[in-house]
Amino acid sequence: MENINSFLIIIIAFIIVATASGNIAKLFIKIKLPLITGFLVIGIIAGPYVTNLISLEAVNSLKFIHDIALAFIAFAAGSELYLKDIRSKFTSITWMTLGQIVATFFISSFIIFHISDYIPFMANLNNATKFAISILIGAIFVARSPASAIAVINELRAKGPFTKIAIGTIIVKDFLAIILFTITFSVSSTLISNVDFNITTIILLFFELVLSFFFGFLIGKLITLFIQFQSNETLKTLIILLVGWGVYGFTYLIRDISVNAIGIKIHFEPLLINIIAAFYITNYSKNRQEFTKIIEEVGIFVYISFFTLTGASIALDIIKDFWFIALILFLIRLFTLFVGSFIASSVVKELALYKKIGWMPFVTQAGVALGLVTMVSKAFPDWGAEFEAIIVAVIIMNLLLGPPIFKASIFKVKENHDKAETKTFDGIRDAIIFGLENQSLALAKQLKEHSWNVKIATMMQDIDAESYTQCEVIPITDYSLETFKKLEAFKAEAIICMQTDEENIQICETAYENCGTKDLIVRLQEHKNYEYFQKIGALVVEPDTSIVNLLFHFVRSPIATSILLGMEENHDTIDLEVINPDLQGIALRDLRLPNDTLILSVKRDGSNVISHGYTRLRLGDFVTMVGSEESLQKVKLKFE
């Protein structure tokens, strides 16, 4: 009973630390560092070598969290390998993957073996063990971090041949890194245990790999069956995590039974089994989207737990002694990445620039690499702590420097499509409508009545622009940046797209990347394009559903709907940006608004704030108000 109580106390204490880690780590984003780095740092601070909030005893008691998290990390890596996404650049990806794996693994292993006498924990070991450790490090150096790469790509909205080759290589490389590690782990275990490496060992290794693939297929089928059941999503998530964790228990059981029954240790790599399972679900089942959704939603909680615990388990006293060795290993890995990418780019005759910077997307390491390190540390306790401390230090260097280096490479090849900086309001509300038709003319008329300066851009050339007296109509020939300059789109607070979805995508991309327009509004033609417009923050109007929603709101609240639509005489709604420094920190209840004016919402940093009378305004907030036109004009003066 006492042991159970102690374990519960450890669990509760870890949950508190992990919750704090999840919140504090968000500060690292503000200094352009990954969340994972924040989790590691918080874990180090909470660990036994700093504040001892997580003691050594607690770290050992929570090892099961490592196994659950590693199973999830394998699922996440396998789910990224979607074959249809990489087929267009298959040749370049294949050669880049081979170049990276061969150069990183063989060159790293060779150099580390020959400098092993200068690595303290390896110096007094026999040559077989030195060789085993060298190839283990080489295999771990191959691993990359798909999650961090995807985060950088999403942040910059990067797209182009260089980005496609990079992300395809990263995903395939991580998949093959697990297989490579499985082979090197088996070989290393044989060498370290002083068992002769003969034909029987090779056959056993082949047997283990084939059965790992088979079990991975079975686990994939099993998870698919669970997902197909009409059950609660939380239950599905729990089942996926338990199945992944169960794979670890299964492999441990097989290992113990084989040793006791036949005197031979049969080791199935649980990471490989789980990554094969995720690969099967992603490419050969109808449940790819739901599986991926579950992985994405639960990912943050798993990463917080895993990386916080990993940080707590890092032996800082060892890193203090071995930091110089870690730096040398970091530089060795960078060198091998450059060699591998240069050779691969030369073989497929990529651009000269690609040869120089082709290594830059592959620096970052995270979950998979850390998972492999912890496996080695647990399997070889004699030198595992020193091994873990040094390689984790290398991974932290890769984690800190990798994302900025990858960003720099995307900027070099000019494949970034990140959002332009939003312009400061100049006091005149400008709107540009793309598309000349009755609806656009009616919209222009209403905006003009509310003091907006409106232009309509049209691809129709045979029109008499001067006949449209209610607004300025400008014929255009394309949606290029030059056309946007001609339209003075950089001044516009709103751009309204009323063309085909293909044309609207061109308009939105140009405006998003170059103009920093506050509001992009799109009239959608086909629902399949909804997600694209949503990702860039466009406000989407679906004609098929808008009328139904409008009627629904009229039924529920006819007066409020009438006011919001401007149907009530002398009433209107307005969005006001807080740019008056005198309003900074003022509570809503202290604004002294006209009696017929009501605040509907406050938007801050792109998110709605749950507002009440004591909510304090900040510069840059957007406040939505409803009231009489006369009162709204008075409020507008107060805000601007």
> If you write DSSP's letter for every residue of 337-391 in order, what string do you get?
HHHHHHHHHHHTT--HHHHHHTTGGG----HHHHHHHHHHHHH-TTTHHHHHHHH
| Of the candidate ranges 103-112, 371-380, 601-610, the one whose mean pLDDT is the lowest | 601-610
Residues 6+ apart with CB under 8 A from 124: none
| Nearest one of 87, 13, 113 to 53, comparing CA atoms | 13
Q: Are residues 455 and 385 in the same domain?
A: no
Residue 638 CB: number of other CB atoms within 10 A? 13
Would you give the end-to-end CA distance of the chain in angstroms? 66
> Are residues 307 and 192 part of one domain?
yes
Q: What is the pLDDT of residues 1-50, one digit of tens each?
A: 556 777 788 888 888 888 888 888 878 767 766 677 788 788 888 888 88
Count CB neighbours of 493 within 10 A: 20
List all residues 6 or more positions away from 196 whose beta carbon is below 8 Å from its beta carbon: none
Of 105 and 235, more confident? 105
Tell me, yes or no, whether 327 and 466 share the same domain.
no
Average pLDDT (115-121) is: 87
Residue that is last in its domain, among 383, 412, 441: 412
Q: How confident is the model at residue 108 (pLDDT cuts 50, 70, 90)?
A: very high
Of 525, 541, 557, the one marking the end of a domain is 541
Tell me how far apart the 2 most distant CA atoms of the chain are, in Å. Answer: 94
Residue 70 lies in a domain: yes
pLDDT (tens digit per residue) in 446-467: 888 777 888 888 888 777 767 7
The mean pLDDT value for 357-365 works out to 84
Q: How far apart are CA 332 and CA 327, in angstroms?
A: 9
Regarding predicted confidence, which is higher, 500 or 73?
Answer: 500
Beta bridge partners of 575: 624
Written as one letter, the residue type at 637 is L
The number of domains in the chain is 3
Tokens of 144: 């990359």
Query: Residues 405, 434: one domain?
Result: no
Q: What percent of the chain clears pLDDT 70, i.e. is strictly above it?
A: 86
Residue 542 confidence (pLDDT) = 78
| Distance of alpha carbon 427 from alpha carbon 431, whole angstroms | 13
Residue 113's pLDDT is what? 92
Are both 578 and 480 inside the same structural domain?
Answer: no
Task: Characterize the bridge pairing of strands 494-497 and 519-523.
Answer: parallel
Are 565 and 553 in contact by the 8 Å Cβ rule? The answer is no
Residue 570: predicted pLDDT = 64
Give the mean pLDDT of 136-154. 77
213-231 average pLDDT score: 83
Report the distance separating Cα 58 and Cα 55, nearest Å.
Answer: 5
For 12, the enclosing helix (H) or strand (E) is: helix 2-24
**E strands, 167-321, in order:** none
Contact 339, 101 (CB under 8 A): no
pLDDT, position 335: 93
Rg of the chain, C-alpha, whole Å: 30
Residue 224 has pLDDT above 90, yes or no: no
CATH number at residue 475: 3.40.50.720
182 confidence band (pLDDT: 50, 70, 90): confident
The residue that leads in pLDDT, 230 or 358, is: 358
Domain check: are 331 and 469 in the same one?
no
User: Looking at the structure, do residues 407 and 434 belong to the same domain, yes or no?
Assistant: no
Domain boundary among 356, 381, 412: 412
Q: What is the mean pLDDT of residues 419-434?
A: 73
pLDDT (tens digit, 9 = 90+) per residue, 592-627?
Answer: 777 777 777 788 776 777 667 778 888 888 888 777
Query: Which band of pLDDT confidence, cut at 50, 70 and 90, is reported for residue 198?
Result: low
Nearest to 602 by CA among 581, 583, 616: 616
Residue 555 inside a domain? The answer is: no
Tokens of 248: 């670890």
Same domain, 82 and 230: yes
| Structural domain for 634, as ranges | 570-639
- Structure confidence at residue 143 (pLDDT): 83
What is the predicted pLDDT for the residue at 14? Answer: 86
User: Looking at per-residue confidence, does 111 or 514 come out higher?
Assistant: 111
What's 622's domain CATH number? 3.30.70.1450
Q: Are 45 and 272 in contact (CB under 8 A)?
A: no
Name the DSSP letter for residue 196. -
Neighbours of 270 (CB within 10 A): 27
CA angle 362, 363, 368 (to 5 degrees): 85
In the predicted structure, residue 381 carries a pLDDT above the cut 80? yes
- pLDDT at residue 331, rounded to an integer: 93
- Which range has the worst mean pLDDT, 176-185, 254-263, 329-338, 486-495? 254-263
pLDDT tens-digit readout, 523-581: 888 877 787 787 777 888 877 666 666 666 566 666 656 655 555 566 677 778 888 87
Judged by average pLDDT, the poorest of 124-133, 536-545, 580-589 is 536-545
Instruction: Characterize the bridge pairing of strands 472-475 and 453-458.
Output: parallel
Q: Which residues of 82-101 are buried (b: 16+ CB within 10 A; e: fewer)?
A: beeebeebeebbbbbbbbbb
Q: pLDDT band at 106, cuts 50/70/90?
A: very high
Specify if 550 maps to a domain: no
Residues 403 and 465 in one domain: no
Q: Report if residue 401 sits inside a domain.
A: yes
Instruction: State how far the alpha carbon of 167 is from the alpha carbons of 47, 145, 155, 356, 361, in Å.
Output: 34, 10, 14, 18, 8
Running DSSP on this structure, what letter comes out for residue 584? T
Q: What are phi and psi of 350, to 5 degrees?
A: -75, 170
Flag whether 6 is in a domain.
yes
Percentage above 90 pLDDT, the chain = 4
In a domain, 467, yes or no: yes
Same domain, yes or no: 470 and 527:
yes
* Residues 74, 206 within the same domain: yes
For residue 50, give the DSSP letter: T
Q: Same domain for 443 and 300?
A: no
39 membership: H or E segment, kind and range: helix 35-46
* Bridge partners, 622 (sequence order): 577, 603
In a domain, 259, yes or no: yes
- Higher pLDDT among residues 538 and 107, named by residue: 107
| Residue 357: inside a domain | yes
Which domain CATH number covers 57? 1.20.1530.20
Residues in the chain: 640
